[in-house]
Structure 1
Amino acid sequence: MAWAKRFHTRQTTFRQLEIFLGVADYASVTLAAKALHLAQPTVSTQIAKLSQSLGVTLFEQVGKQLYPTDTGSEVRDAARELFSVMDNLEMRLAQREGLSVGQLKISVVTTAKYLIPNWLGEFCQRYPNIEPEFQIGNRAEIIQRLKQNLDDLYVFSNPPNDLDIRSEFLTENPLVVIAKQGHPLQHKSNIVWNELNSERLLIRENGSGTRFAIEQFFNQHGLVLARPVTIASNEAIKESVMAGLGIAIVSRHALNHMAPGNLVELPVKEFPIPNSWYWVRPNGKQDSPVVKAFRAHVSQKLKAK
């Protein structure tokens, strides 16, 4: 075939494309080399060879970062599509051998890190040759990964409604008010939110799915965020609440992993905030055999609860 001959003549290799994608994702030869466990000169040489074989300029440098040119962006998208096809082929072949090998790439919003690892660990024990990749980020960061189609599965508490995606209910994720053990209102029933106005409210940063859900809830109920203080992680919020800096609204699943002996859930009226987690994938993306097997594993675990 003519196209095969042309591609072979250019001597473009899968390894060169893999290195190219690494540089495109990290916007840096140095960071890509570290992630790929290669020497920096090796990465630079392979990018130069790929550029030469394709006859195009792949990157331009702005400040200290590298950005794909328009042509480079086309090569990046094609390379991702190519690797996706090859991954699916590998997994289909693996299915014939009883799901013995394959990859599973999952990106989740921060609160779901308390949920997914147990399932993923059990699944990988069952299929030890499966290679998992697990990314954690706030809502904005995971949306960026979704837009770039970097993973097989995404978990959101509030899936973006402006993207061409499909969402399926995973499990409930109620948001509760927490305070330090011994809080004066700890044993009171039906606390009214206004009774907490003197408290600092420790809240996740803009871009967080938890903050998005909280702001929606407060707007719907005409409530005011009391003295909000932005803190960038659930761990930091936990430590701050334990130190008496204020109260917080977090996932009940997160509370269960936050030294529950030192923190308590306050019985506030209108709480918990109803919230859920969802499986999310781009529309048209086909689930690989590994993804289907993992989702079936999770479904089985949830039914057994």
Structure 2
Amino acid sequence: MHTTLQQMRLYEAVARHGSFTRAAQEVNLSQPAVSIQVKRLEEQVGMPLFDSIGRTLVPTPAGEELLAASRDILGRLEALDVALDDLRGDMAGPLRVAAVTTAKYFMPHLMGAFVRRHPKVRPVLSVINRANLLERLAGHQDDLFITGRIPGGLPVKAVPFLDNVILPIAAPDHPLAGRGPIPLTDLAEQRILKRELGSGTRSAVEQAFEEAGLTVAPFMELGSDEAIKQAVQAGLGIGFLSSYCLGPELQTGRLVALDVEGFPLTRQWYAVQRANRPLSRAAEAFLAFMKDEATVQAAMLR
């Protein structure tokens, strides 16, 4: 095979996105240009590289082999760049961080503060759901992974760096607003809005109810923190969100935090890395920065 590095980069992007169009947008090429390069790869391999499942492209067995090899080679080249930067003594190179969606309220600010100190670092932040984060963790696609729950089943190191305070919230005219302390049994009788299955916030709240001997079926399941906030403001029920999501709404009175027994819940945000993969100099420095200054930086957002 006479595969080029550019073809490998394009193929990896298509496989990751499951789409020629989204891959083309990422690499700033036209969709036909990306398709042509993947077609040439298929001609070299002599087998199809993708199956179409609905509107999503999924690698074939041959495609999986090519994907693994592409990620290995591209990863080694990136590691070489990082090693050379380290030898030059530069705090430079890429810093790839994947974060679950709730972390979008503070991670850009933390990365921004870090890059102001180290302007040669090139940050890449992927904000994704937990399922996609676990896929990226398994595929060694990022340096650090920001989540509220330590993943199981993989050899990882997890460093806590910030409190995750989860609050019960309601519309200001809700019957429970201004009351307190509210027994958890009373809260369980209300319409409860939950994030989708797999959400760390949902798991923490369900655990709190279970420890009190209560099981609460969701009145509605919603796929984002913003959707929860809008539904609560519309009077559809009570939600539970990280305090970092709620600054403007609580300050303006569009939402209120309820005084509920056992709340707020305090959990941790973790920076996770693969145990068998050393961090680049930039990633090591960013991890140390978060451990030392995340609380101070995040407090500015509240």
Compute the TM-score of the two structures, normalised by the length of structure 1: 0.87
- Alpha-carbon spacing, 1:64–1:110, altered in 2? closer, same or farther (3 Å): closer
- Deviating more after overlay: 112-121 vs 28-37: 28-37
Aligned length: 296
Q: Which residue of 2 aligns with 1:292?
A: 284
Letter in 1 for 2:95: L
The whole-number CA distance in structure 2 between the counterparts of 1:173 and 1:180 is 22
Larger radius of gyration: 1
Residues 194-213 of structure 1 aligned to structure 2 (within 5 Å): 194-213=185-204
- Deviating more after overlay: 145-154 vs 177-186: 177-186
Letter in 1 for 2:143: D
The whole-number CA distance in structure 2 between the counterparts of 1:116 and 1:206 is 23
- Residue 73 (str. 1) matches residue 67 (str. 2): no
Query: Residue by residue, what CA displacement relative to the aligned partner does 1:96-126 show, whole Å, maximum 9, x if unpaired?
Result: 4443531111111122112211110111222
CA-based RMSD of the aligned residues comes to 2.4
Query: Residue by residue, what CA displacement relative to the aligned partner does 1:229-280 show, whole Å, maximum 9, x if unpaired?
Result: 2122111221222232222111122222544332222121111223211111
Residues 1-305 of structure 1 aligned to structure 2 (within 5 Å): 10-54=1-45, 57-225=48-216, 228-262=219-253, 263-302=255-294
The whole-number CA distance in structure 1 between the counterparts of 2:187 and 2:41 is 61
- Deviating more after overlay: 287-296 vs 54-63: 54-63
Compute the TM-score of the two structures, normalised by the length of structure 2: 0.88
The whole-number CA distance in structure 2 between the counterparts of 1:218 and 1:79 is 46
Q: Between the two proteins, what is the percent identity of the paired residues? A: 35
DSSP-derived class of the 1:134 partner: strand
Deviation at 1:93, TM superposition (A): 1.8
- Deviating more after overlay: 180-189 vs 10-19: 180-189
The whole-number CA distance in structure 2 between the counterparts of 1:67 and 1:242 is 39
The whole-number CA distance in structure 2 between the counterparts of 1:149 and 1:15 is 20
Query: Residue by residue, what CA displacement relative to the aligned partner does 1:171-201 show, whole Å, maximum 9, x if unpaired?
Result: 2212121122354444433210222344321
Letter in 2 for 1:91: V
The whole-number CA distance in structure 1 between the counterparts of 2:218 and 2:37 is 53
Deviation at 1:205, TM superposition (A): 1.3
Gaps of 5+ in 2: none
The whole-number CA distance in structure 2 between the counterparts of 1:216 and 1:195 is 17
Letter in 2 for 1:105: R
- Deviating more after overlay: 53-62 vs 31-40: 53-62
DSSP-derived class of the 2:170 partner: strand
